[in-house]
């Protein structure tokens, strides 16, 4: 569906924690049959440690280094087409923002603060939100990161009221324009 010559091949999902990147990634994987790379999961698998443990034992900068190295690896031009689901903070580094654009069609999934709070409060695996006041933390991080998501994304998608199937349909419609220049 997303054929083209000399164009980046992948669909890349960015967005804040709890915006549905992994769920939408799985939906796209099913529809397109491309492999799904969930960056957080792959980093956990390779390091043999949970993200929370990586943060507490090695610190956030070490985790960000792992994200950068993985992005560099994913940029291999000979790799097959993939769906790439990223961690919410991947856009913090300028180098990562450039690598993400190099990787393919970048879609920013947005969700309201209330939804983010609700989804992320269901477990304690997000070290940056382990505070007494996660809502204030979410709003501060969103505020700080907003320009970086905006700068990185080819498409901004407000997911309010949409299920993962509808979101995937929207992404595929616009990806077709991106990769071929026509529907």
Positions touching ligand S3P (CB under 6 A) are: 17, 21, 40, 51, 87-89, 126-128
Q: Return the number of the residue (1 or 140) whose C-beta is nearest ligand S3P.
A: 140
SS3 88: coil
Q: Return the number of the residue (89 or 179) whose C-beta is nearest ligand S3P.
A: 89
Instruction: Report how far apart, in Å, the C-alpha atoms of 28 and of each of 24, 96, 128, 159, 180 are.
Output: 6, 23, 28, 15, 18
Minimum CB distance to ligand S3P, residue 95 (Å): 16
Minimum CB distance to ligand S3P, residue 14 (Å): 9
**DSSP-H helix ranges across 14-128:** 21-32, 39-47, 51-58, 60-74, 94-103, 113-120
Look-up of token digits 């990161």 = 145
SS3 50: coil
Q: Return the number of the residue (67 or 171) whose C-beta is nearest ligand S3P.
A: 67
Minimum CB distance to ligand S3P, residue 121 (Å): 12
Minimum CB distance to ligand S3P, residue 131 (Å): 13
């Amino acid at each position: 569906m997303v054929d083209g010559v000399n164009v980046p091949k992948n669909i890349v999902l960015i967005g804040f924690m709890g915006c549905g990147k992994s769920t939408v990634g799985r939906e796209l994987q099913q529809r397109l049959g491309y492999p799904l790379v969930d960056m957080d999961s792959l980093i956990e698998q390779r390091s043999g440690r949970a993200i929370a443990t990586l943060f507490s034992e090695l610190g956030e900068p070490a985790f960000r280094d792992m994200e950068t190295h993985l992005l560099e690896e994913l940029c291999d031009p000979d790799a097959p087409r993939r769906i790439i689901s990223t961690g919410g903070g991947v856009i913090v580094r300028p180098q990562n923002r450039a690598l993400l654009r190099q990787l393919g069609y970048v879609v920013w999934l947005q969700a309201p603060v209330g939804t983010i709070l609700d989804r992320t409060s269901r477990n304690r695996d997000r070290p940056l939100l382990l505070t007494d006041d996660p809502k204030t933390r979410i709003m501060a991080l969103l505020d700080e990161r907003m320009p970086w998501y905006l700068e990185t994304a080819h498409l901004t998608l407000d997911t309010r009221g949409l299920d993962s199937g509808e979101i995937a349909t929207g992404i595929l419609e616009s990806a077709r324009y991106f990769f071929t220049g026509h529907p």
